[in-house]
Amino acid sequence: MPFAAVSRVLRTVLAHAALVPAGVALAIAGPALAGPMSIDVESSLNPSTYGQKVTFTARLDGGGPTGSVTFKDGSKTLGTGTLSLLDATTSLGIMANHTCALTAAGGVECWGVNTYGQLGNGNMGVNATTPVPVVGLESGIVAISVGFYNSCALTGTGTVKCWGRNQFGQLADGTTNDSDEPVDIPGLPDDITAVSVGGSHICALTDGGAAWCWGSNNAGQVGNGTVVDVPVPVTVQGLSSGVATIAAGFGHTCAITETGAAKCWGSNGDGKLGDGTTTPRQTPVDVIGLPGPVSVISLQQNHTCAVTQAGAAWCWGYGGEGELGNGANGNSASPVPVSGLGAGVATIEVGWAHTCAATEAGAAFCWGYNNAGQLGDGNAPAQANTPQAVSGLSNVVTLAAGQYHTCAVTAAGAVMCWGDNANGKLGDGKNPTDSDTPVQIAGFGAGAALVPARAELKTRDVRGGKRPITVHYGGDSGNDPSVSPALTQVVRKGKSKTKAAVRPREPDTETHIRLRVRVKAVSPARGRPAGKLTVRDGSRKIGTFKVRRGRANVRLGTLDQGRHALKMLFRGNRDWKRSRVKKTVTVTANGSDTTRPSF
């Protein structure tokens, strides 16, 4: 199942997710369904100082938006940024017999089996052969995860909502009553950034990287050191911080730390914890033998797979159906490399007895059990113990694998599924006809599924004060034109330093005196200050002069004989703070001896 980790803004997702080039097209076309676009803009430094470099990042939550965006300061154009697609793993979820997807508008729709209300549409016991909306989740959802009989969603405000079966306290409401509509999960911190649903337990992550789990714990999968069911969220022992990703399976759980270390706990049948043994673990243990830091981990019933930060795929656990992908049909209690996928892998997804992966180039491969065509290679029911290309599918940004079916989201925001179609699991309305090649999901053509994108602009060209920064998107075939809410960028005035030189250096009463004034920016401010310069001779005001591009040339004319205390005050415009300088000049009588002035 998908590991269901939300993009931990500009920290986890951007560090590990493969970016897909803008402008990619869908090989298997679906109807273009232009839809609303949610745009947010963030600043790397707020408040900032005038002239200081600021990076503005736009995130577009839509159906695979392509092209570029324009960043504006009020009506002034600051520049443009090219869109790159982000990881969409949290937009799709499968474990056994139902599937859910995030719409481009941030809503949730599900289809398939609904025995315990896992579709969330308020119609428990009635299966759906095409997607149905989840009650109350029409927008505002940033991630979903699907388990055996449960589904969960993460809101943009960091709260978790779940629905479906409640036999082991999965809904954490103090009862064992199932729910066919979403309910809030109590007892969690209010800064949840990821949720992952397993067979009968659920886990979540906080913004600080703390792991929490609850529900069935018969094999220690909750990770609290016991094998007693836990009907309320508890922290995983040893993982109170520093966790980047968490994934719940069918009786076991795994996590990736911020340093890229993989840890697993719970049931260890066939060695699926990857610690070299088959001993169950009630608290996290290290996965051994991986050739480097890990970026993605996925698990379901009897095996586990990961992708290293170098882009190599590795699997361990049960391999009797070829699901480890190493060319054999045997188990392994430690990771083995997947044949032919030693580099360039973006994500990997584990099904019941098959596995699929997507490459950074958008190609999809599957291997393992193929009784219903879940490998998508057009060769059902022949299983494969090495990766096989999914037929006719390209530009894949994420995959999800179920019991006997598989789905994918393309870069264009379309959802395709293949394999077993009993009870409408493929979502194409053709229950119970299986398909060993991808088919279009009803209502999820191009632009329909959530595939976020981002663009950046680095600039120093923002005026002082409170500036309204907006992002403008012109739309494409699958996404409507949209404008972001304004971000108030506070730009503080830059500090300045004023210097002056008197010419000539030894004037007399008949000499016309000039001042050369230079106003410079003081770090972190950058630029050439502008404003006005007031010049005084003692208490007498001589005049006010313009400062342009950090310079002012002032003609004072002649001065009386004697010492003159010249005072210069730079008053900057809205971008610059004031600064002062003093100069003393001695004016001698014409033709007499002179004394060098003091500077």
Report domain extents, the chain: 13-86+453-492, 496-587
Answer for the pair 294, 340: CB distance below 8 angstroms, yes or no: no
* 8 A C-beta contact, residue 237 and residue 217: no
Which string of DSSP letters, residue by residue, matches 329-372? -S-EEEEEEPTT-SS-EEEEEE-SSEEEEEETTS-EEEEE--TT
- Residue 500: which residues within 8 A CB-CB, separation 6 or more? 515, 516, 517, 518, 566, 568, 581, 583
Angle value at C-alpha 493, between 488 and 498, nearest 5 degrees = 165
Distance, in Å, from the CA atom of 221 to the CA atom of 233, rounded to the nearest integer, reads 13
What pLDDT is attached to residue 342? Answer: 97
Residue pLDDT, tens place only, 396-423: 999 999 999 999 999 999 999 999 999 9
- Tell me, letter by letter, the H, E, C secondary structure of 1-42: CCCCECCCCCCCHHHHCCCECCCCCCCCCCCCCCECCEEEEE
What percentage of the chain's residues is helix, strand, coil (to nearest 5)? Answer: 0, 50, 50
Neighbouring C-beta atoms of residue 352, cutoff 10 Å: 23
**Which residue type sits at 123?**
N
CA neighbor of 8 nearest in space, from 143, 178, 136: 143
The CATH T-level fold of domain 13-86+453-492 is Immunoglobulin-like (2.60.40)
For residue 239, give the 3-state DSSP assignment. Answer: coil
In the predicted model, residues of the chain with pLDDT beneath 50 are: 1-34, 592-599
Type and span of the H or E element at 196: strand 192-197
Give the number of other CB atoms < 10 A from CB of residue 227.
14
Domains 13-86+453-492 and 496-587 share a fold: yes
Q: What is the 3-state secondary structure (H, E, C) of 125-191?
A: CCCEEEEEECCCCCCCEEEEEECCCEEEEEECCCCEEEEECCCCCCCCCCCCCCEEEEEECCCCCCC
Across 420-575, where does the E strand assignment appear?
A: 435-440, 453-459, 465-473, 482-483, 487-492, 496-503, 513-521, 531-537, 540-547, 551-557, 562-572
- For residues 566 and 346, give the distance between their C-alpha atoms in angstroms, rounded to a whole number: 68
Cβ atoms of 483 and 451 closer than 8 Å: no
Cα–Cα dist 146/2, whole Å? 8
405-410 vs 415-419, strand pairing mode: antiparallel
Please give the pLDDT value at position 87. 81
SS3 529: coil
Tell me if residue 561 falls in helix, strand or coil. coil
Instruction: State the fold for domain 496-587.
Output: Immunoglobulin-like (2.60.40)
Q: What is the CA radius of gyration of the chain?
A: 32
pLDDT at 591: 63
> In this structure, which amino acid lies at residue 553?
N
pLDDT given for residue 535 in this prediction: 97
pLDDT of residue 13: 30
For residues 263 and 256, give the distance between their C-alpha atoms in angstroms, rounded to a whole number. 6
Whether 325 and 368 have beta carbons less than 8 Å apart is answered as yes
3-state secondary structure of 327: coil
